Structure 1
Amino acid sequence: MLVKQELPQQNFEDSDQFIFCLEGVADIETTKATEVLLHLEQLALQHGVNSIYKTCDTIEGLEESLNALVYDDHNFKNYEIIYFVLKGEENNICLNDYFYSLQEIAEIFEGKLAGKILHFSNAKVLDLDDEEAQYFLAVTGARAISGYGVDLNTIPSLLLDKAFFTLFNEEDDMFEVVEELHQKHYNLCKMLDFRLYY
């Protein structure tokens, strides 16, 4: 099951890229706005970075959301970043107390994420070895996977996530964005152990 919420937007035509955010929640019937949703609203209002926000509470909901994005959304090519706020650890995610490896996720979305950057908040630690990262990228076609080595219990990554998305709205080159992120937010990048697999 999934819930879709469009955020306050400037004109979609005014922005080159959008963020597609998928947040794992305990129950999608809950209508209370999450902290993630509030931050995405601020991002749209303050920096003109538009987003589509959805929640899911099952692997089927996650699959349905991403398939709807890939097949039904005419703006799909403009979603440069797919932002996952999902619990889990290292190379898996957890939905409704079930764990799914990123390898399983890659196989579900084989060839469907071409050119996208998948960014994980630090609701889960992202800790892949080279083989796992290359497998995921090769199977899905994604351009890169980014995330953090330090989990949410230490400090939430929302502020650094917003900075990352804002820089991407201004600059197309992924490596320039990461370099600038480290220059402007060095301590936070270090503290959260920002990672990029490409």
Structure 2
Amino acid sequence: MLNESFIFCLEGVPDIEINPITEVVKNLEQLAFDYHIASIHKTCDTIEGLEESLSALLYDDHNFKDYEIIYLVMPGQENNIRLHDYYYSFEEIAELFEGKLKGKIIHFSNKKKLDLTPDEAQYFLDITGARALSGYGAKCSKVDSIHLDKAFFCLCQEEDDVIEIVEILHQKHYALCKFLDFRLYY
């Protein structure tokens, strides 16, 4: 990602009609101000809203190729996300976005644990076409992953090799990477 790239953030919220400025929005604004990394933030409260938001980006935004990171801030359990009190598996999500995420890095905040087997991760990557899938093996309500997320996003601006990105991230933020159990599947 040696060229400027952008972040597309989808945040799962209980009700999209109640649209307060969330901490995620504030942090994305700070990322833009401090590091000049532009982003689009959307909220969704259903799987249909998730699909609609990503499809609008894919089909209506002529700059879709510039969005290298799809940042998902959604609650859930290990290999599921929760929207509107329904759980959706990674397999369902992969099939929903079959072939639509080519070359993208899909990054989950630590609102949910990301604990995939190598086969599950490979299935997701193969079906969606994503370049990498990242997140955290530890869900810690006392520590938000946003600071490590921002460091990861900045490194994605500077480096193209995902392995190099993870190595640098661990060198610079070892304690936080270890505490939150940062994971990358590629």
| 2:125 matches 1:137 | yes
Aligned to 1:65: 53
1:113-192 alignment to 2 at 5 Å? 113-192=101-180
Q: What is the SS of the residue equivalent to 1:87?
A: coil
Shift of 1:154: 3.9
- Larger mean Cα displacement after TM superposition, 187-196 or 29-38: 29-38
Looking at structure 2, the residues matched to 151 and 29 of structure 1 have their Cα atoms a distance apart, in angstroms, of: 27
Using the alignment, how far apart are the partners of 1:130 and 1:172 within structure 2?
22
Measured in 2, the distance between the counterparts of 1:165 and 1:136 equals: 21
Secondary structure of 1:94's counterpart equals strand
* 8 Å contact kept, 2:79–2:90: yes
Among 82, 99, 107, the alignment partner of 2:70 is: 82
Per-residue deviation, 1:103 = 0.2
**Once the 2 structures are TM-superposed, how far is the Cα of residue 20 of structure 1 from its aligned partner?**
0.3
Residue 44 (structure 1) aligned with residue 32 (structure 2): yes
Partner of 1:6 in structure 2?
none
**Structure 2 length-normalised TM:** 0.97
- What corresponds to 2:183 in structure 1? 195
Encode CA deviations 1:28-70: one digit per residue, 9 max, x unaligned: 1112110011000000000001000000000000000011111
Question: Partner amino acid for 1:124?
Answer: K
Which residue matches 2:42?
Answer: 54
Structure 2 residue 94 is the aligned partner of structure 1 residue 106: yes
CA deviations 1:145-193 (Å, max 9, x no partner) are 0000111314110100011001111222211111111110000000000
Aligned AA (1:187): A
> How many residues were matched structurally?
184
> What is the rounded CA distance, in whole Å, between the counterparts of 2:4 and 2:177 in structure 1?
26
Return the alpha-carbon distance in structure 1 between the equivalents of residues 169 and 96 of structure 2: 31
Partner SS for 1:151: coil
Deviation at 1:131, TM superposition (A): 1.1
1:93 matched to which residue of 2?
81
Q: What is aligned with 1:28? A: 16
TM-score normalised by the chain length of structure 1: 0.91
Structure 2 unaligned residues grouped into runs of 5+: none
Equivalent-residue separation in structure 2 for 1:167 and 1:180 (angstroms): 8
Separation of aligned partners in 2, 1:107 and 1:65: 16
Runs of 4+ in 1 over 4 A off after TM superposition: none
Secondary structure of 1:55's partner?
strand
Percent sequence identity over aligned pairs: 68
Per the TM alignment, residue 23 of structure 1 is displaced from its structure 2 partner at its CA by 0.2
